[in-house]
Amino acid sequence: MALRHAVFCVEQGVPADLEYDGLDAGAVHVVVVDDERVIGTCRLVRDGETMRLGRMAVARERRGEGLGAVILDEAHALAREAGAREVELHAQAAVRGFYERAGYAAEGDEFEEAGIAHVTMRRALGPLTR
C-alpha cells in the first residue's frame, strides 16, 4: 500500500479515497520485493471469466528495469491458474504502448479516470505453461 500511495497519490495526485476502493481484500496481489522493500505491485480482481488488472506500480527509481513485464507475466500466470480466460485493465494513456507490447488491445475511446486519461485494454490468456 505504501508503494501504491507513493506512485498514485503522491506522484500522480490521485485522491486517496479513489485509490483505497475496498477491493484489495478480495484481490490477488503480485508483489516484487528487493531487500525487504516492495518495488513493484499490481492486483487482480475476478469478474466472471475475466480478471481485472489494476493498481500496477513500480517504484520510481526502479522503472525501466523490466519489472513491469515481470509483474505482468506473473499476473497472467496467476489469472490462468484461477481459470480466467482474459485480463482487462484501464491503462493510463501514457503507458498504452507498454501494454500493447504485452499483447493487449485497446477498446473504445480514451476516458478520464482520477483526472488521468485512460483506455480500456484486453488480452486473451492462452493455456497455462508453468
Q: φ, ψ for residue 2 (rounded to 5)? A: -65, -40
- 58: exposed, middle or buried (Cβ count in 10 Å: 0-12, 13-18, 19+): buried
At 69 the pLDDT is 96
- CA 67 from chain center: how many Å? 12
| Domain assignment present for 130 | no
pTM of the model: 0.91
Cell of 25: 481484500
CATH code where residue 114 lies = 3.40.630.30
**What's the total number of domains in the chain?**
1
At 107 the pLDDT is 97
Domain interval for residue 104: 2-124
- 16: exposed, middle or buried (Cβ count in 10 Å: 0-12, 13-18, 19+): exposed
| Domain assignment present for 57 | yes
Could you tell me the mean pLDDT of each successive run of 10 residues in the chain, 130 residues long? 94 90 93 96 95 96 96 96 96 96 96 95 81
